[in-house]
Amino acid sequence: MNIEKGDQERKLGLPITYLMDRYTVNTSKSQMGFIDVIVQPTFEVLKSFLPVLSEFITNLDKNKDTLKGKIEFYNENLSTLFCYF
C-alpha cells in the first residue's frame, strides 16, 4: 500500500484516494479483500488449466490466516494514531 500517497493528498488538501489513508485503513482487511475478490478467483480459474497452481491456492489460504491474526493489531494501532497534517 502506498500510504505516502495519502499523506501527500492530505497535505495538499485533496481527497484521499481509496485505501491510501494510514489513519483509517486496516491493512489486513484490505489485503484479505484483495485476495478474496481478485487473486483467489483468478487462481481458481487458472487451476482448471494448470493443476499445479493448487499449491498457490493453499498458500493464499495460509496468507489469509496470517492476515486474520493481524486484524486486531491494526484495529488497535489505527485507534492510537494522530493526524499531524
Residue 11 belongs to a domain: no
Query: Which residue bears the cell 501527500?
Result: 8
pLDDT class of 31 with cuts at 50, 70, 90: very high
Calpha distance 66→62 (Å, rounded): 6
Please state the pTM of the whole predicted model: 0.73
Residue 2: count of CB within 10 angstroms of its CB: 10
In the chain, the number of structural domains is: 1
**Residue 75 neighbours by CB under 8 Å, 6+ apart:** 26
- Residue 50 has what pLDDT? 93
Residue 12 belongs to a domain: no
Residue 14 belongs to a domain: no
| The pLDDT of residue 49 is above 80 | yes
